[in-house]
């Protein structure tokens, strides 16, 4: 393998916060493009189980349980890796939440921890998270 070939082996990796997942169902083309990269094997993607909880309850509040369930299942089947909290992820999320009091929700701390562990670009609509400069960020405009 030549030196330049190592760069070709690196695959993009995106970790999705809840906001962009909600935007996807609002037919946001930026999010659709990123998710299509994952679906067609051009990138890897992940989210945290807690983000699916947040997607479900925010959708349920506005559009009802049936729509919430359909959307949650749709994301689960899209090809994203769904990361469940474990001891090490919980400790990292706790450290982030402690260090950045008032700037991170519990769910944000977990999804940020996932992005750190997976060395991914965090796709978010939350400018407070992007201001921390802890991981590469793709900041999208919320609905």
pLDDT score for 8? 44
| CA quadruple 15, 17, 22, 23: dihedral, nearest 10 | -70
Alpha carbon distance 143, 135 (integer Å): 23
Q: Tens-of-pLDDT digits for all 143 residues of the chain?
A: 334 444 444 589 999 999 999 999 999 999 999 999 999 999 999 999 999 999 999 999 999 999 999 999 999 998 899 999 999 999 999 999 999 988 999 999 999 999 999 999 999 999 999 899 999 999 998 86
pLDDT score for 100? 95
2.40.50.140, 3.40.50.10800, 3.40.50.1010, 3.40.50.1220: CATH of 12-128: 3.40.50.1010
**Could you tell me the residue ranges of all domains in the chain?**
12-128
pLDDT score for 11? 84
Residues paired with 16 in a beta bridge: 123
Sheet holding 81-83, edge to edge: 81-83, 43-48, 12-16, 121-124, 137-139
Supply the pTM of this predicted model. 0.89
């Amino acid at each position: 393998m030549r030196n330049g070939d190592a760069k070709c082996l690196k695959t993009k990796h995106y970790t999705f916060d809840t906001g962009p997942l909600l935007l996807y169902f609002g037919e946001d083309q930026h999010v659709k493009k990123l998710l299509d990269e994952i679906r067609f094997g051009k990138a890897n993607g992940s989210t945290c189980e807690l983000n699916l909880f947040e997607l479900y309850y925010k959708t349920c509040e506005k559009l009802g349980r049936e729509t919430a369930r359909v959307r949650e299942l749709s994301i689960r089947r899209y090809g994203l890796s769904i990361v469940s909290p474990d001891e090490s992820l919980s400790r990292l999320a706790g450290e982030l939440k402690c260090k950045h009091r008032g700037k991170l929700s519990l769910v944000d701390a977990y999804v940020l921890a996932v992005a750190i562990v997976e060395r991914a670009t965090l796709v978010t609509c939350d400018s407070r998270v992007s201001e921390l400069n802890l991981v590469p960020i793709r900041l999208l405009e919320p609905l």
